[in-house]
Homo-oligomer: A and B are copies of this chain.
């Protein structure tokens, strides 16, 4: 058995150094949607892994490079750790209290774009590895890292990479890129992710914008075409109208409902955190709200753009309009199939002029809550967090877990530095230093006990 006291002491004494390493990684912008700094960030992650004795390969894809790294350990078991080095765009910049790419430590938190999602997870895991190497001289088991650069842009090339590198990625279990505590500071085990199908819908009705006084009565208007096409997809009843959209999906099982019932109420927290007055579909809270949140598919308009958007008025009839739309998918739905049904429906509704651009997708995936690896992760958490880990059968977010679960055949566990006010994807993203340290302690234990 490893000397956890020695490990914990190492982690406590070297925390500042690890936060400095995280700050260095955050200071390297790597905005996938804007194709900013991805290669530079991949190289920096590669350096950090080499410094721990990992054999590193930075593999080009058609998009951002994938960082693959491997180091042998004492046991012949292999843990695959999945992370990503890309981050969400920092906009709107004016809402940040400190610049997004200049990490700033205030009140026990480090602020910056990517401190939590996902660079802090990378460095806290490297920190755990440092403690194991310090304690035992070598790793307890084989560790492989796969760190991609397109997670925030729907991991467009990851599936292909995984299928082509199944042997290289062979492992016995997988630690996912995120995890953390809920608002009570209870560590949570997130066992399933919804899928996603992200598209851009765009319309072009003319070669150039036209004065609205001239064309208003007689010319097609791209913004109107887009509004009508969008409103055909979903009505105010929140039902998605694409034929076959809901085919093959299943309601949550009795075990799912049991686990969901044990979760705390979220209604008030959501209202106060996001300034939302009411939920849709007549939901008010309780189990119904929690079940609806994660076990139903969605059609979300993420962005709209057309014509004049500045201050005041401009009398223009727009030639072009576009919308960013994401569909969150549940088990039983598949992104390519949804895109096909969307195309057929738009055509049938008379919207053949609406172009669909595929911006990536993943199917949903989940791991059995009663799998031994999940039990191990939950058990080791208890020692660090001093309370039982809570099992969550499914969450609302998405990620490329489908190929890990279904193509590599791995149980996938979460664990990490996240907390409810971490503001991933929003201004003032932050990580709590206490949770950063706890995750490193937890990871050191997971790796140790997994090896034995």
Q: Which residues of A contact B (CB under 8 A)?
A: 32-35, 88-89, 91, 152-154, 194, 196, 198, 200, 205-221, 223-224, 226-228, 230-231, 234-236, 270, 274-276, 278-281, 283, 289, 292-294, 296-298, 300-319, 321, 323-324, 326, 328, 350, 359-360, 395-398, 424-426
Interface of A is mostly: mixed
Contacts of A205 in B (CB 8 A): 276
Q: How far is the CA of A396 from the CA of B221 in the complex (A)?
A: 16
> What's the least CB distance linking A154 to chain B, in Å?
6
Contact of B206 with A308 in the complex, beta carbons under 8 Å = no
Q: How far is the CA of A205 from the CA of B279 in the complex (A)?
A: 10
Contacts of A298 in B (CB 8 A): 212, 216-217
Given A281-B218, A293-B217, residue A300 in contact with residue B212 (CB < 8 A): yes
Give 3 closest A-B pairs by Cβ, nearest first. A207-B275, A213-B397, A216-B298
Given A300-B317, A328-B216, residue A89 in contact with residue B308 (CB < 8 A): yes
Contact of B275 with A217 in the complex, beta carbons under 8 Å = no
Contact of B280 with A302 in the complex, beta carbons under 8 Å = no
Q: How far is the CA of A103 from the CA of B257 in the complex (A)?
A: 70
Given A305-B304, A308-B324, residue A276 in contact with residue B316 (CB < 8 A): no
Q: How far is the CA of A336 from the CA of B99 in the complex (A)?
A: 45
Contacts of A293 in B (CB 8 A): 214, 217-218
Given A236-B228, A316-B425, residue A275 in contact with residue B206 (CB < 8 A): yes
> What's the least CB distance linking A117 to chain B, in Å?
10
| Residue of B198, B212, B279, B301 touching A302 (CB-CB under 8 A) | B212
Contacts of A296 in B (CB 8 A): 217
Q: How far is the CA of A310 from the CA of B93 in the complex (A)?
A: 14
| Residue of B214, B308, B326 touching A397 (CB-CB under 8 A) | B214
Contact of A304 with B304 in the complex, beta carbons under 8 Å = yes
Minimal Cβ-Cβ distance residue in B for A204: B275
Minimal Cβ-Cβ distance residue in B for A351: B236
Contacts A33-B312, A33-B313, A198-B315 known; 10 new A-B pairs at CB < 8 A: A35-B312, A152-B314, A208-B275, A211-B425, A217-B294, A226-B304, A227-B227, A227-B301, A302-B315, A315-B425
Given A307-B302, A359-B313, residue A231 in contact with residue B220 (CB < 8 A): no
Contacts of A91 in B (CB 8 A): 308, 310
> What's the least CB distance linking A430 to chain B, in Å?
14
Q: How far is the CA of A292 from the CA of B217 in the complex (A)?
A: 6
Contact of B309 with A304 in the complex, beta carbons under 8 Å = yes
Given A312-B153, A315-B196, residue A209 in contact with residue B307 (CB < 8 A): no
Contacts of A303 in B (CB 8 A): 223, 306-309, 314, 316, 318
Q: How far is the CA of A275 from the CA of B222 in the complex (A)?
A: 13
A-B contact pairs, 22 of them (CB 8 A): A33-B310, A33-B313, A34-B310, A196-B315, A198-B315, A212-B326, A214-B396, A215-B274, A217-B297, A219-B270, A219-B276, A219-B279, A220-B280, A224-B301, A228-B231, A231-B231, A274-B319, A301-B318, A302-B314, A304-B306, A313-B326, A314-B324
Q: How far is the CA of A276 from the CA of B206 in the complex (A)?
A: 5
Q: How far is the CA of A123 from the CA of B384 in the complex (A)?
A: 80
> What's the least CB distance linking A402 to chain B, in Å?
15
> What's the least CB distance linking A399 to chain B, in Å?
9
Q: How far is the CA of A309 from the CA of B325 in the complex (A)?
A: 11
Q: How far is the CA of A395 from the CA of B217 in the complex (A)?
A: 11
* Among A88, A217, A316, A324: residue with most chain B CB under 10 A: A217
